Amino acid sequence: MAGGGIKPGIVYGATDEFGFYAVDQTMHVHDLHATILHLFGVDHTRLTYRFQGRDFRLTDVHGEVAKALLA
**Domain boundaries along the sequence of the chain:** 1-71
C-alpha span between 33 and 16 (Å, rounded): 24
Q: How confident is the model at residue 69 (pLDDT cuts 50, 70, 90)?
A: confident
The SS3 call for residue 40 is helix
Q: Are 39 and 5 in contact (CB under 8 A)?
A: yes
Residues ≥6 apart with Cβ < 8 Å to 70: 5, 6, 7, 35, 38, 39
Predicted local distance difference test score (pLDDT) of residue 17:
92
Instruction: Encode pLDDT of 5-64 as tens digits.
Output: 888 888 888 999 998 998 988 888 888 889 888 988 888 888 888 889 888 888 877 888
Distance CA 32, CA 66 (A): 7
